[in-house]
Structure 1
Amino acid sequence: MTTTESRGRRGARGSQRGYAVLDVETTGLDPYRDRVIQVAIRQVSADGTAESEWETLVNPGAGVDPGPVEVHGLTSADLAGAPTYKEVAAMIAERLAGRVFVAHNAPFDWAFVAVESDRAGVRLEVLEWLCTMRFAKALALDVPDKSLATIAAYYAVEQVKAHDAGDDTRVATEILLRELADADRTGVTRPLVECNSARHRVKRTARRWFSRLGLPLR
């Protein structure tokens, strides 16, 4: 099986403004030219209650190089039987809908999921993202850098398998909960960023066309 799911308790306050913590593994660093090959999402209610977790491998298409196997460990053989992004796009959209999108280095993960969803013709009902890396900066954590491993160590969160979307999402979720608690204690405002306005969607469409035509991205 390439897709896994489990569910936990639902928070009393519901999930309308809860969080969807996401991580992707990709064939490269450019969301307009590279592809998603693994995605994991954990839903957390507004009060921090775990709601569900889900992950899947993603087949990037015949003949597409899986990219840095030495980093993510996923080969073409691993991905051959996985669903395409288009086949799971609606599921991803459902799990993100109405929530704050959360990731460590959120601009990267959001760009890949947004562009892949655009390609699949599925609209994401997301308004804002919250980056746990930027949150760490806002909290002025006393750390040498803001990498996932460093922030995890700061909060005593164990990393089991780095660069695996499922484990990275688990770690990012634990970091998020600790950052939210620190923010409540110190009065720091959550660094929410608008990410999916009409202007953002038009810009993504234009960049996809530039990329398709082989023109420099603007």
Structure 2
Amino acid sequence: MTADPALLDDLFTQEIDGRAAQFVRPADTDRHDFAVYDGDAFLGMLYSDQVLGTAGWRLGGSGERHGALDDAVRALRRPRSWPRERAQVADWARRLLADDSLAAVDIETTGLNGAWAVQIAATDKSGTVLFDSYVNPQAEIEPGAIAVHKITPERVADAPTFGELLPALSEALHGRTCVAYNLPFDKGCLERELERHSSAEVAARWLGECRWHDAMEPYAVWKGLWSVKRGRYRSQRLGGPHTAVEDCRFLLARMQEMASFDRPVGS
């Protein structure tokens, strides 16, 4: 929820992730700022803020800013262990980025469920392309998928099949440390393609030639928006233009962001 602070009551309750948060505007301010409570527990202050005309919320104490009121409360609810967990994520990102074999991998697909590849790309850790090709999926591309990645059946009609691309893809990835965003999705697509091309045994061996890492959970920890309903940090959209190469580069930029975190003194 993105709320205009001026439209909020001085006292209100809102359910966020299945749990009520109470908002109280202090009597000693004319601003639309709020003290936030979880039952009898005081979570912190949220200060109404505007940047370039966009309503937002700053967290008391840190100045951290969120555009959505719900996300600001999720930040207030994060566990005390968050700074330590965030530092661990930074260490993880630094280790991967120090690996000269690192490759970012992204696959655009025919849909969300049981999908086939329509574009596969990989870059090295500097963003240099290791592999990039459209793929003829030999299957229908769902309209919803086309709306996201703009890859139409006409664009891939004359593209090589996965089997035709496999030797070059193997050369690009095998022996490398590979990172993807939502790894089960991309790796699952590769597994289906490999099984269709050959067999489950061949798929397992082929995938085993790479060292796989998923950046989705670390990035969720990095952002630190706690869901009491899920009992974990909320997964975040990575963003990016939904072209495979640029999404690889976008992922690497987020990893650089995570790696830039300075570990707190004494942690």
TM-score using structure 2 length = 0.50
CA shift for structure 1 position 137: 2.7
CA contact (8 A) 1:132 1:175 kept: no
2:108 aligns to what? Answer: 25
Moved more, 132-141 or 98-107: 132-141
The one-letter code of the counterpart of 1:24 is I
Matched, 1:55 2:141: no
1:178 is aligned to 2:257: yes
User: 139-148 or 84-93: which moved more?
Assistant: 139-148
SS at match of 1:139: helix
Decide whether aligned partners of structure 1 residues 186 and 116 sit closer, same or farther in structure 2, where only a CA change above 3 A counts: farther
CA distance in 2, matches of 1:50, 1:164: 14
> How many residues matched?
152
Residue 70 (structure 1) aligned with residue 147 (structure 2): yes
Percent identity, aligned pairs only? 27
Q: In structure 1, what is the Cα distance between the partners aligned to 2:209 and 2:255?
A: 18
1:127/1:60 CA distance change after superposition, 3 Å = closer
Secondary structure in 2 aligned to 1:186?
A: coil
Please tell me whether the aligned partners of residues 19 and 100 of structure 1 are also in contact (alpha carbons under 8 angstroms): yes
Q: How does 1:130-145 map to 2 (within 5 A)?
A: 130-141=213-224
Q: Contact 1:22–1:169 (CA<8 Å) still a contact in 2?
A: yes
Distance change >3 Å, CA 145–CA 111, structure 1 → 2: closer
Q: Structure 1 CA distance, aligned partners of 2:211 and 2:221?
A: 17
Cα deviation, 1:57-76, whole Å, max 9, x if unaligned, reads 00012xx2122321221111
Change (3 A) 1:180 1:115: farther
| Structure 1 residues 14 and 100: alpha-carbon distance in aligned structure 2, compared to 1, 3 A threshold | closer
Distance 2:187 2:99 in 1: 24
Whether the 8 Å contact between 1:21 and 1:169 is mirrored in structure 2 is yes
Give 1:67-216 correspondences, 5 Å limit. 67=142, 68=144, 69-121=146-198, 123-141=206-224, 146-149=236-239, 159=240, 162-182=241-261, 185-186=262-263
CA distance in 2, matches of 1:112, 1:97: 17
For 1:111 and 1:133, locate their aligned partners in 2 and report how far apart those are by CA, in whole Å. Answer: 15
The alpha-carbon distance between structure 1 residues 118 and 176, as it changes in their structure 2 partners (threshold 3 A), is: farther
Code of the residue aligned with 2:236 in structure 1: it is: K
Q: Tell me which protein shows more strand as a share of its residues.
A: 2
